[in-house]
């Protein structure tokens, strides 16, 4: 005996009481006059359902991750459906072939449709969890529920499409001698599949402990300066500790955000310079796994989307300066990657657009915090620039950015005397990247090499003697080899550095190490670890805290102003 509900369900799966996905898939296929037409009808209906389910799930993921309003999400769904339809067609084709193979290998095709559906369901479930993971990490409870519901719905539809399609193929192939497995087997299969999915989820998800309680900081009065030099390939002598590292990502925004947060790219959310603005969708979209290639490559190639640079609003975890600020430590951040828009809560910030905004005489809103600090720094920027697109412009920008950042940094250091300061100097990377461009002529290369030599000498002088008063207790020079290279070195100097120490480190270790020196307990939830082997004895006390707290992604992701994006392009950061 079976229950009435089970009987209904089985009849629906076989084309009666036409409801549900299988009913829709079967309806056309069973009516077909030829086998080929039956395959085509079943496959096209199945592909349409699958594409709709995948597009819906992806839309929810992107809407949550990028905080899209409902209208934008609806338009995005249409675009994603177009891409999903192509993928679904291939998946359905594979399912049809699998079902045909299954029918051929075992003539009676017992349990065929269920076997295929269960296998496909497990695959779809794993893919769904992997796709949902980034969105879940930044989502609140309601959004996470929406994401999980959408993914579960998509998996359910995928299973039903697979089952309906397999049944269609078996029916249309004239080899339909199907009996379904006992309910017990099916129940065990589903329970096993669910356990596998839960197990994978448990391994993949690291549920962070969220806490925004005030940090208890040991008051030690120390000062730490972190200088990031991009594109540094020269040697640099000096006392102190040295450590080499290999980058997780070459993308400068991703790497320098890892340095500033102590987190992996996946956790901090700045995985690329790019957001995508899709035609008809007002807000920019952060491409996620599953639709990344489609949104970042296919649609832009078709001129249906364009790529935009990412801003600080996309960062999901607090940066050094924000943690320090929560602990009551005054900080200064100059020209660091993705510091636009600059906001309250992170000490003094002179953002990474400020140079360009100041040079063009444009508005300074969001370019620094507080506003008077940004205005004061803006006066240090040059007011004229060579012709856009010219080699002179590129050289002037590379050197000008460093000069401006150094001048603004020195001025603010002297005025404010912060205990934590970060300075980013991009000049060598801009010049060396241009030098590596195979399309440049010999004359350009000679000019670039000369400029690079000059820039390196200028920065070497600063690194060897920053001339800061009061002098920092720890100076951390992050000398990255540039966007084309895999790694770099870190040099630690000053009274708190362990002289002569040599090691390798992860770039994520820098943030907790620097904060520990300032008396901030290390967060146990982040990827980075305090590297006391590079510090003088007693420099850190080993205190930890569950979390430094989280940083909510803004409701709307502001994109960089168009002028800045053009500058990024001219400097070779954006293609």
Partner 1 sequence: MRPALVVLAGDLFEASRPRLIDAGCAIEMVHAASLVLDDLPSMDDATLRRGRPALHVAHGEGNAILAAVTLLARAFGLLAEAGLHARRGGIPGSLALDLVSRLADASGLFGLASGQALDLATDETGATFDRLETIHARKTGALFVASAEFGAVLGGAREKELGAVRSYARNVGLAFQIVDDLLETRGDAGETGKSARRAPAPTFVRHVGEAGARTLVAELTQHALDSLKPFGKRADLLREFAAMLRDRKK
Interacting residues with partner 1 (CB under 8 A): 1-4, 6-8, 10-11, 14-18, 27-28, 31, 33, 174, 176-180
Least Å distance, CB 96 to partner 1, is 19
* Helices 391-416 and 562-570, axial angle in degrees (round to 10): 120
- What is the token pair recorded at 36? 């080929």
Question: Number of C-alpha atoms within 13 angstroms, CB side, residue 300?
Answer: 15
Q: Which is nearer to partner 1, 167 or 256 (CB)?
A: 167
Q: Which is nearer to partner 1, 64 or 99 (CB)?
A: 99
Least Å distance, CB 80 to partner 1, is 30
**CA angle, 521 then 522 then 527, to 5°:** 170
Least Å distance, CB 10 to partner 1, is 6
Q: Which is nearer to partner 1, 18 or 533 (CB)?
A: 18
Give the three-state DSSP class for 472. coil
- What is the token pair recorded at 281? 């969708």
Length of the chain, please?
Answer: 575
Least Å distance, CB 200 to partner 1, is 32
- What is the token pair recorded at 361? 């005489």
Residue with tokens 């309910």: 183
**Secondary structure element (H or E) that encloses residue 102, with its range:** helix 70-105
Give the gyration radius of the chain's Cα atoms. Answer: 29
Least Å distance, CB 17 to partner 1, is 5
Least Å distance, CB 14 to partner 1, is 6
Interatomic CA distance for residues 545 and 215, integer angstroms: 8
Least Å distance, CB 123 to partner 1, is 25
Q: Which is nearer to partner 1, 23 or 121 (CB)?
A: 23
Q: Which is nearer to partner 1, 9 or 248 (CB)?
A: 9
Q: Which is nearer to partner 1, 2 or 246 (CB)?
A: 2
Question: Number of C-alpha atoms within 13 angstroms, CB side, residue 7?
Answer: 4
Sheet bearing 487-493, strands edge to edge: 368-369, 348-350, 331-334, 420-425, 224-230, 474-480, 487-493, 241-246, 502-504
**CA angle, 514 then 518 then 520, to 5°:** 90
Q: Which is nearer to partner 1, 165 or 295 (CB)?
A: 165
> What is the 8-class DSSP label of residue 436?
T
Give the three-state DSSP class for 249. coil
Q: Which is nearer to partner 1, 106 or 277 (CB)?
A: 106
Q: Which is nearer to partner 1, 29 or 421 (CB)?
A: 29
Least Å distance, CB 507 to partner 1, is 59
Q: Which is nearer to partner 1, 16 or 293 (CB)?
A: 16
Interatomic CA distance for residues 163 and 185, integer angstroms: 16
- Closest to 126 (Cα-Cα) out of 63, 186, 49, 198: 198
Q: Is 51 exposed, middle or buried (0-12, 13-18, 19+ CB in 10 A)?
A: buried
CB within 8 A of 83, min separation 6: which ones? 55, 291, 294, 298, 299
Q: Give 227's strand partners.
A: 423, 477
Least Å distance, CB 172 to partner 1, is 9
Interatomic CA distance for residues 129 and 127, integer angstroms: 6
Least Å distance, CB 37 to partner 1, is 12
User: DSSP labels for 179-221?
Assistant: -PPPHHHHHHHHHHHHHHHHHHHHHH--PPPP--SPP------
Q: Which is nearer to partner 1, 179 or 235 (CB)?
A: 179
Q: Which is nearer to partner 1, 38 or 398 (CB)?
A: 38
Least Å distance, CB 365 to partner 1, is 59
CB within 8 A of 93, min separation 6: which ones? 43
> What is the 8-class DSSP label of residue 262?
S
Least Å distance, CB 486 to partner 1, is 58
Least Å distance, CB 31 to partner 1, is 6
Least Å distance, CB 93 to partner 1, is 24
Dihedrals phi, psi of 399, to nearest 5 degrees:
-70, -40
Q: Which is nearer to partner 1, 114 or 513 (CB)?
A: 114
- What is the token pair recorded at 537? 């004895």
Interatomic CA distance for residues 522 and 109, integer angstroms: 60
Least Å distance, CB 40 to partner 1, is 14
- What is the token pair recorded at 557? 């992701």
Interatomic CA distance for residues 550 and 274, integer angstroms: 22
- What is the token pair recorded at 444? 């350009």
Q: Which is nearer to partner 1, 35 or 306 (CB)?
A: 35
Q: Which is nearer to partner 1, 8 or 71 (CB)?
A: 8
- What is the token pair recorded at 387? 């012709």
């Amino acid at each position: 005996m079976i229950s009435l509900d089970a009987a209904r369900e089985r009849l629906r799966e076989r084309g009666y009481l036409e409801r549900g996905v299988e009913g829709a898939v079967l309806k056309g296929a069973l009516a077909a006059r030829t086998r080929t037409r039956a395959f085509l009808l079943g496959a096209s209906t199945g592909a349409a359902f699958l594409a709709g389910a995948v597009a819906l799930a992806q839309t929810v993921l992107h809407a949550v991750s990028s905080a899209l309003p409902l209208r934008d999400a609806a338009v995005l769904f249409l675009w994603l459906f177009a891409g999903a339809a192509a993928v679904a067609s291939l998946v359905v084709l594979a399912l049809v072939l699998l079902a045909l193979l299954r029918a051929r290998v075992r003539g009676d095709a017992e349990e065929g449709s269920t076997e295929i559906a269960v296998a496909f369901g497990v695959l779809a479930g794993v893919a769904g969890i992997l796709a949902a993971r980034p969105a879940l990490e930044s989502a609140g409870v309601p959004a996470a529920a929406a994401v999980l519901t959408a993914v579960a719905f998509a998996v359910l539809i995928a299973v039903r499409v697979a089952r309906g399609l397999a049944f269609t193929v078996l029916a249309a192939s004239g080899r339909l001698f199907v009996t379904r497995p006992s309910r017990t087997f099916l129940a065990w299969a589903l329970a096993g599949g669910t356990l596998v999915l839960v197990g994978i989820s448990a391994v993949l998800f690291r549920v962070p402990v969220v806490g925004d309680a005030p940090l208890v900081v040991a008051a030690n009065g120390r000062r730490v300066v972190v200088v990031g030099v991009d594109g540094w390939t020269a040697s640099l002598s000096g006392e102190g500790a040295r450590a080499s590292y290999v980058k997780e990502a070459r993308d400068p925004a991703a790497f320098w955000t890892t340095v500033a947060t102590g987190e992996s790219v996946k956790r901090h959310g700045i995985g690329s310079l790019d957001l995508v603005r899709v035609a008809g969708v007002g807000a920019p979209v952060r491409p996620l796994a599953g639709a990344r290639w489609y949104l970042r490559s296919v649609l832009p190639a078709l001129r249906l989307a364009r790529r935009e640079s990412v801003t600080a609003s996309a960062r999901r975890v607090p940066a050094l300066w924000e943690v320090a600020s929560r602990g009551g430590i005054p900080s200064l951040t100059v020209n660091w990657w993705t510091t636009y828009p600059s906001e309250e809560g992170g000490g003094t910030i002179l953002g990474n657009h400020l140079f360009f905004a100041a040079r063009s005489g444009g508005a300074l809103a969001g370019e620094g915090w507080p506003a008077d600090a940004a205005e004061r720094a803006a006066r240090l920027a040059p007011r004229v620039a060579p012709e856009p697109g010219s080699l002179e412009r590129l050289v002037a920008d590379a050197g000008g950015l460093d000069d401006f950042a150094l001048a603004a940094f020195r001025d603010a250091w002297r005025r404010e005397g912060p205990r934590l300061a970060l300075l980013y100097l991009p000049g060598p990377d801009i010049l060396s990247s241009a030098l590596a461009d195979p399309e440049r002529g010999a004359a350009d290369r000679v000019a670039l090499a000369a400029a690079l030599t000059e820039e390196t000498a200028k920065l070497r002088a600063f690194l060897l003697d920053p001339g800061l008063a009061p002098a920092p207790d720890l100076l951390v020079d992050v000398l990255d080899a540039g966007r084309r290279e895999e790694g770099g070195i870190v040099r630690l100097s000053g009274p708190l550095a362990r002289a002569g120490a040599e090691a390798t480190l992860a770039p994520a270790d820098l943030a907790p190490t620097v904060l520990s020196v300032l008396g901030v307990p290390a967060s146990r939830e982040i990827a980075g670890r305090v590297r006391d082997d590079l510090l003088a004895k007693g420099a850190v006390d080993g205190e930890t805290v569950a979390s430094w707290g989280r940083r909510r992604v803004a409701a709307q992701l502001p994109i960089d102003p168009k002028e800045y994006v053009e500058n990024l392009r001219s400097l070779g950061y954006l293609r």
